[in-house]
Each structure stands twice: as structure tokens, then as C-alpha cells.
Amino acid sequence: MSQKAWGSDADRWRLQKWLGIAADSRPRVYEQIFASTEIARLSYWLEIFFSAGIATFGLVESSPAVIIGAMLISPLMGPIMAMGLALAAGDLRMGIRGIVNLVVSVAVSIAFSGFLVWLLPFHSVTSEIISRTNPNLLDLGIALLSGLAGAVVVSRGVGDGVTALPGVAIAVALMPPLCVMGFGLGSGVNLEIMGGAGLLFLTNLVAIVASAFLVFVLVGMRFAPVETPMLEFRGSGHPVRDPLNGLPPWIQAAGGKLRWRVLMILILLASIAVPLRRALLQVANEASSRETVQNDLKRLLPAGAIVSQQVSLGNRDIVIRLISTAPVSQSKLDAVRSDLKLRTGRDVDISVDAIASRSDLSVLMERLARPAAVISKEATLGDVREELLNRVRAAIMEIWPSSDAPIQDFNLVIGVAGVEVDVRYNAAMDLGDVPIHMVLQNLQTRLGAPDLTLKTERIQPAPGPGNGTGKPKGR
């Protein structure tokens, strides 16, 4: 591509002035970036191991602060910036050095992280790990902007080189996705985790290379005035693009002509954008479905009546589990189910468990936390039955979940299978599975009888005052 297409020297100098880039800084920037591709540097590999180790432990502990500390080391920015500059200047030698350095660094980082995870006695997937397995187009946008910022800082030739970019390093986060891949490897070759994290790293890599390429071209890193100092630093008497000579014509065209390198960058960005766009649409669809579910639940029950709700969104279905202080008719449930299926396009499974009231539930939960009573093992069967009968009577009178469903009587049965408590209560409607199950748990805990079972029978109350208000009879 001609210089005219990219602007004159005066235009480039004006842009460099706006960005605060000194006229003589470009050869120094080249030297700095070229030096960062040197693979035989102890300091570089120490940074790789330190960054990978810190990021791995931060991910396992789900500690954002520790993960940020690993990002700040950012040793991978050097070879990635070198790949961007190599594309801008058509420098095959720098490009090969950068690619080799990056490939070896990525392999070492994943292997080291996987080894650390393999040594751990637990392999729990944390929220910090999950958050790096579902990249979308927003991550590509972040990486592009961060790469632009990093390339501008590097082009100015200030600071401690290409790794002295704290803000960019934190925004792009190159090492954590690699360590998530290491976690997937060390925890049993979890391909789903490794694939998602690998896509995120590839997104960051392509975006930074593309951004660096654009900035380095615009500030004139590929033009003749810059090449002479580059050659002096390299100790070569041939132009930087001469290594392309002798290669097949299509490779020479791709490496020697700027327009082909631009096309290559665009193809890479487009290929990354396809799966990222699909992921973004999935996130948007899930958010829309959750909003639709919440709106329909507001029509189904008043907010104060919902004690607990669980909403699980799958690819083809929605499962909703509610605990409420108000009963819901089947017709209303069917209407909400049909509306949600129509608006989300997914099968809907919704259920509502009704309890007496919030206050009854709170009292019952407090009683469940009380310590269990211990029954003497030396007692005879008759003593045990009498002791259990007294304790059951006291416990039921204290913890029965609703005064609107008084106990008529109860029976205690001790057999080979264990202890069974049969309760009969007066009520116009069933208490529901949730309160009955909580009563059973309380009885098991208080009586020290984990095998105890509870059987309940509702008796329709007869008309007339004073029904079911007396003391329950035990048999």
C-alpha cells in the first residue's frame, strides 16, 4: 500500500505529536520490542512462573485481588507486541521470534498451572474460573481498546518497556485464561473449561496484535527513515523484509505487501467474532428470559408472599421452584406456564409449595437449631416408649407449624424398622410437604432418632366452636 494511502510524512508526524511520540523514539521502540522476543532470558521465565503460580492460586481461592497481582506482571505482552510490530514493519525475523516465544510461553504456563492444580487436594470450580470460560463480543471490544492503549504507550518509548503497562495488563488479563486452561488440565482434562478459556485467550491475543499493528503502522514504524537504525541494531546489511526472499510467491505477497497483512488481520478478527457474537446473543437471550420470568412471577404472587424462589434456565427449558405463604390455583400456574413458553420459546416447569406464614417458618427454623436430646441406651423398651411419648408430645405441641391446623391425636409405633409417629390434625386444607418435612427433621434431631418417620392425616373439621383446641392425645 502506498504512503499516500496512509498519509504523508507530515501527517504521520502530526499524529505522533498528538500522541506525544518523539521523532527519534521509533528506533528505540523497535530495539525494545525486538529484545523482548529473546527467549533465553532468566528474568522473563521467572516472570512466567511467578505470574502463572499467583494466577492459579488466585483462581482456586476465587480472590480477585490475587488475580490482579498476577496480571500486573504481564510477561506475555512482550512477544505479543512484537507480533504486532512485525506485521506492521513486514519483519519476518521478529515475527518468527515473537511466535516461537509466545507458543513456548503459553505451553509452559498451562503445564505449570496444571501441575499446581494437580497437586491440590481439591478441584472446586470457583466463580473466577467460570467467569473466564464464556467470552463474548464485549471481551473482544475490551481487548481491542486495551491493545490500542498499550501500543500507544509502547510507541512513546517511555517507562520500563513493553511489560510496564499495568492498566492494559489488568484490562486484558492474558495469564488468568491460560491458568484456567491449566486448571481444566490438572483437574482431569475438562475440555469445556479449557475450550472456553482458550477462546478468551485467543480473543485477547488477536485483538492486541491487531491493535498494535494499527498503531505501529499509523506512527510510521514501517517506513524507510526507521529501517536504517533497525538494521544497525540488528547488525544486518539487508532490509528487514529481505528474509522473505526465496519463499513461495504467495508468502512473499502476504508478508511484503501491507494490504495482504491487513487482510490477514481482518480475517482473524472475523473468525474470532463469530463464536463471540453467538455467546453474546446467548447472554442477551438469557437476560431477557430472566426478566420475563420475574415479570410473570410478580403477576402470579405478590412480592411479600414469596419466601424462596429458584429459577434455572436451560437451553430448552425453564424450571421454577417457589415457596410461598399464599396458595396458587392450578389455573394461574397453567396461564403463567403458557405465557412463559410463548414468550421465551422454552418448555416451562413451575411448582409452588405453600406454607402457613413467614412467622411460622421463622419460629420453626429457630427450633430446628436447638440441640438434640439423647435417649439412654440402657433403658428398656417400655421406658424408651414412655420417654419418646412424652418427648414427642412436648415437641409436637411446641413446633407444630400452624395454630389453624390443631393436632387431634398422635400415635407412637416402635417396630423393627424403627420409630413411627402418626399424627392426625384438623384443617380445611393440607399443610403441605415443606412444613411436614421440617417437623420431621426437628423430631429426628430432638429425639436423637435419625430413622424416625412421620405420617400425617388431615381430618376435615366439623362445624362448631372449640374443635381441635384441646391437648393432643398420645397413644
| 66-122 per-position pLDDT tens digit | 988 888 887 888 899 889 888 888 778 888 889 999 999 999 999 999 999 999 988
Is 240's pLDDT higher than 60? no
Write a three-state SS string for the chain: CCHHHHCCHHHHHHHHHHHCCCCCHHHHHHHHHHHCCCCCCHHHHHHHHHHHHHHHHHHHHCCHHHHHHHHHHCCCHHHHHHHHHHHHHCCHHHHHHHHHHHHHHHHHHHHHHHHHHHHCCCCCCCHHHHCCCCCCHHHHHHHHHHHHHHHHHHHCCCCCCCCCCHHHHHHHCCHHHHHHHHHHHHCCCCHHHHHHHHHHHHHHHHHHHHHHHHHHHHCCCCCHHHHHHHHHHHCCCCCCCHHHCCCCHHHHHHHHCHHHHHHHHHHHHHHHHHHHHHHHHHHHHHHHHHHHHHHHHHHHCCHHHEEEEEEEECCCEEEEEEEECCCCCHHHHHHHHHHHHHHHCCEEEEEEEECCCHHHHHHHHHHHCCCCCCCCCCCCHHHHHHHHHHHHHHHHHHHCCCCCCCEEEEEEEEECCEEEEEEEEECCCCCCHHHHHHHHHHHHHHHCCCCCEEEEEEECCCCCCCCCCCCCEEC
What confidence score (pLDDT) does residue 6 get? 44
Dihedral of alpha carbons 392, 393, 395, 399, sign: positive
Among 15-29, 98-112, 144-158, 251-265, the range with the most confident prediction by mean pLDDT is 98-112
Please report, for the chain, the start and end positions of each structural domain, with discontinuous segments joined by +.
3-245, 372-474
Percent of the chain with pLDDT over 70: 71
Residue 1 reports pLDDT greater than 70: no
Question: What was the pLDDT predicted at 49?
Answer: 94
pLDDT level of residue 399 (50, 70, 90 thresholds): confident
Mean pLDDT, all residues of the chain:
76
Report whether pLDDT(446) > 50. yes
Position 107 scores a pLDDT of 95
Q: Which pLDDT belongs to residue 231?
A: 55
At residue 29 the predicted structure's pLDDT band, cuts being 50, 70 and 90, is confident
**Fold topology of 3-245:** Glycerol uptake facilitator protein (1.20.1080)
Across the range 379-383, mean pLDDT stands at 54
Q: Is the pLDDT of residue 159 over 90?
A: no
Top CATH class of 372-474 equals alpha beta
C-alpha 409/C-alpha 301 separation (Å) is 35
For the beta carbon of residue 394, count every other beta carbon within 10 angstroms: 12
Please state, in angstroms and rounded to a whole number, the distance separating the CA atoms of residues 129 and 134.
10
| Rounded Cα distance, 78 and 43, in Å | 13
Mean pLDDT on 382-393: 68
pLDDT at 2 over 70: no
Cell numbers given for 278:
453467538
d(CA 364, CA 336): 31
Q: For residue 236, is pLDDT > 70?
A: no
Please tell me the predicted confidence (pLDDT) of residue 222. Answer: 62
pLDDT 10s digits, 306-362: 777 788 877 788 888 887 777 788 888 888 888 888 888 888 888 887 765 555 556
Looking at residue 177, its pLDDT comes to 93
The pLDDT tens digits of the residues spanning 414-444 come to: 655 567 778 887 877 777 776 777 778 777 7
Comparison of pLDDT for 425 and 15, the residue scoring more: 425
